[in-house]
Structure 1
Amino acid sequence: MKKIFVSGLLILSALNVIGQAKSQIAFTAKISNRNSDTLVIKGANNFKQVIPINKKELFAANFEAPKGFYMFSDGVESSNLYLKPNSEVNLTMNAKEFDETIVYKGKGVNESNFLAQYALSNEKFLNEAFTKEATEFASLVETKKKSDLEKIEKGDYDPEFKTALKKSFEEFNQYAVQEYERASLMNKLNGKPSAEFDYENHKGGKTKLSDLKGKYVYIDLWATWCGPCRAEIPYLQKVEEKYHGKNIEFVSVSVDVVKDHDKWQKFVTDKQLGGIQLFSDKDWQSEFIKSYGVMSIPRFILIDPKGNVLNADAPRPSSQELQTKLDALLN
Structure 2
Amino acid sequence: MKKLFFIAIALVFSFSGIGQTKAAVSFKGEIANRNTDSISILNKNNRKEIKKILVGKDGFFKDSFAVEEGFYMLFDGKEYTELFLKNGYDLNLTMDAQKFDESIVYSGKGALENNFLAQNTITEQKYDYDALLASNEEVFMKLVKEKKAADFLKLDNQKLDPVFVSLQKKSIEMAMDSGTEYYMEGLETKKLNGVMSPSFDYDNYNGGKTKLEEFKGKYVYIDVWATWCGPCIGEIPSLKKVEEKYHDKNIAFVSISIDKLKDIEKWKSMVKGKELGGVQLFSDNDWNSQFVKDFHITGIPRFILIDPNGKIVKADAARPSSPGLEAELDALLK
TM-score between the two structures when normalised by the length of structure 2: 0.79
Q: Structure 1 unaligned runs (5+)?
A: none
8 Å CA contact retained: 1:7, 1:80: no
Moved more, 102-111 or 247-256: 102-111
C-alpha separation between the residues in 1 aligned to 2:326 and 2:77?
24
Q: Percent identity?
A: 37
C-alpha separation between the residues in 1 aligned to 2:164 and 2:281?
46
* 3-state SS of 1:200 partner: strand
2:112 aligned residue = 110
Distance change (3 Å), C-alpha of 1:242 and 1:282? closer
**How much is the aligned-residue C-alpha RMSD, in angstroms?**
3.4
C-alpha separation between the residues in 2 aligned to 1:156 and 1:93?
29
Code of the aligned partner of 2:94: N
Code of the aligned partner of 1:13: S
C-alpha separation between the residues in 1 aligned to 2:221 and 2:56?
40
C-alpha separation between the residues in 2 aligned to 1:82 and 1:73?
14
2:136 aligned residue = 133
Q: How does 1:37-76 map to 2 (within 5 A)?
A: 37=36, 40-44=39-43, 46-49=49-52, 54=57, 59-65=59-65, 66=67, 68-73=70-75
C-alpha separation between the residues in 2 aligned to 1:326 and 1:5?
29
1:276 aligned residue = 279
C-alpha separation between the residues in 1 aligned to 2:84 and 2:206?
50
Q: 2:164 aligns with which of 134, 150, 161?
A: 161
C-alpha separation between the residues in 1 aligned to 2:16 and 2:280?
36
TM-aligned CA deviation for residue 8 of structure 1 = 5.0
Code of the aligned partner of 1:236: I
Does residue 89 of the first structure (1) align with residue 90 of the second (2)?
A: no
* 3-state SS of 1:296 partner: coil
C-alpha separation between the residues in 2 aligned to 1:94 and 1:216?
43
C-alpha separation between the residues in 2 aligned to 1:126 and 1:279?
33
TM-aligned CA deviation for residue 326 of structure 1 = 5.1
Q: Deviations over 1:185-240 (max 9, x none)?
A: 2222234332221211011011122323444433222223x3xx245325413431
1:29 aligned residue = 31
Code of the aligned partner of 2:40: I
- Count of matched residue pairs: 319
* 3-state SS of 1:192 partner: coil
Does residue 240 of the first structure (1) align with residue 240 of the second (2)?
A: yes
2:203 aligned residue = 200
Distance change (3 Å), C-alpha of 1:238 and 1:144? closer
* 3-state SS of 1:273 partner: coil
Q: Structure 2 unaligned runs (5+)?
A: none
Does residue 10 of the first structure (1) align with residue 11 of the second (2)?
A: yes
8 Å CA contact retained: 1:201, 1:278: yes
TM-aligned CA deviation for residue 176 of structure 1 = 2.0
C-alpha separation between the residues in 2 aligned to 1:284 and 1:156?
46
8 Å CA contact retained: 1:126, 1:176: no
